[in-house]
A and B are shown apart, each in its own frame.
Chain A
Amino acid sequence: AQSVTQPDIHITVSEGASLELRCNYSYGATPYLFWYVQSPGQGLQLLLKYFSGDTLVQGIKGFEAEFKRSQSSFNLRKPSVHWSDAAEYFCAVGPLEYGNKLVFGAGTILRVKS
């Protein structure tokens, strides 16, 4: 069965520090991988996606993620965190066929300290 694991429930980083949020997935084939961000009271905003090709993908707000097939991972990174990045981050996996469901991880809450 498809599953997504985000091992860190909470992460706190200082403003200006680098960030890495971990995501591991279990899937029978090469999946589509996504990172979404949810600010308090808001919906899910797509940060970036991986479908194929270059395993390092760039997203919005200065985020990037690297797909590592050998490790079944899709970790999210940002070189310098801003206070406005404080939010909950969700990794998700979907099938290659369109119109099918996304499976989400439990989320990682990012706190940024000044």
Chain B
Amino acid sequence: EPEVTQTPSHQVTQMGQEVILRCVPISNHLYFYWYRQILGQKVEFLVSFYNNEISEKSEIFDDQFSVERPDGSNFTLKIRSTKLEDSAMYFCASSDGRSSNQPQHFGDGTRLSIL
């Protein structure tokens, strides 16, 4: 069964550094998402992306965050200047989008640790 893949599985970064989290969505999917889960808290929506532009973003997704689909397969989340509070598990998801009853499929996540 096709799946969403994320790399790396764990990223350790110094505060203030830039980090890029990578995702390969399911190949025929049209909608892409990033969510995060701070340890012990809920999974929170960050951003959705469709047709090469952001379709919705949360208040968490401020100017320090950006997303890109640099080629036909990858979908990235960049944090420009990381803060301690960015430490979380980041999940990428994708959905078909061609019909309204297709769910989002999630990757295994990238654990981001900011030191």
Residues of A within 8 A of B (CB): 32, 34, 36, 41-46, 49, 51-52, 90, 92, 94, 96-107
A56 to B17, CA, bound (A): 48
Total A-B Cβ pairs within 8 A: 68
Q: Which residues of B lie under 8 Å from residue A92 when comparing CB positions?
A: 43
Cβ A104 vs Cβ B106 within 8 A:
no
User: In whole Å, how far is A87's beta carbon from the nearest beta carbon of chain B?
Assistant: 14
Identify the closest chain A residue to B108 (Cβ).
Answer: A43
CB within 8 Å for A107 and B91 given contacts A46-B103, A101-B33? no
Question: How many B residues have CB within 8 A of the partner chain?
Answer: 31
Instruction: Among A43, A49, A96, point to the contact of B103 (Cβ < 8 A).
Output: A49
A107 to B97, CA, bound (A): 26
Identify the closest chain A residue to B106 (Cβ).
Answer: A44
A59 to B5, CA, bound (A): 23
Cβ A101 vs Cβ B42 within 8 A:
no
Cβ B58 vs Cβ A99 within 8 A:
no
Q: Does B66 contact A (CB under 8 A)?
A: no
Cβ A107 vs Cβ B48 within 8 A:
no
User: In whole Å, how far is B15's beta carbon from the nearest beta carbon of chain A?
Assistant: 25
Q: Does B83 contact A (CB under 8 A)?
A: no
Q: Which residues of B lie under 8 Å from residue A51 when comparing CB positions?
A: 100-101
Q: Give the interface SS of chain A, mostly helix, strand, loop or mixed.
A: loop
A43 to B44, CA, bound (A): 14
A74 to B105, CA, bound (A): 20
Q: Does B52 contact A (CB under 8 A)?
A: no
A104 to B48, CA, bound (A): 15
Q: Which residues of A lie under 8 Å from residue B100 when comparing CB positions?
A: 51, 96-98
Q: Does B45 contact A (CB under 8 A)?
A: yes
Instruction: Among A32, A43, A101, A106, point to the contact of B56 (Cβ < 8 A).
Output: A101
Q: Which of A32, A96, A98, A100 has the most CB of B within 10 A?
A: A98
Cβ B109 vs Cβ A34 within 8 A:
no
User: In whole Å, how far is A43's beta carbon from the nearest beta carbon of chain B?
Assistant: 4
Q: Which residues of A lie under 8 Å from residue B93 when comparing CB positions?
A: 44
User: In whole Å, how far is B11's beta carbon from the nearest beta carbon of chain A?
Assistant: 15
Q: Which B residues from 24 to 43 make CB contacts under 8 A with A?
A: 30-31, 33, 35, 41-43
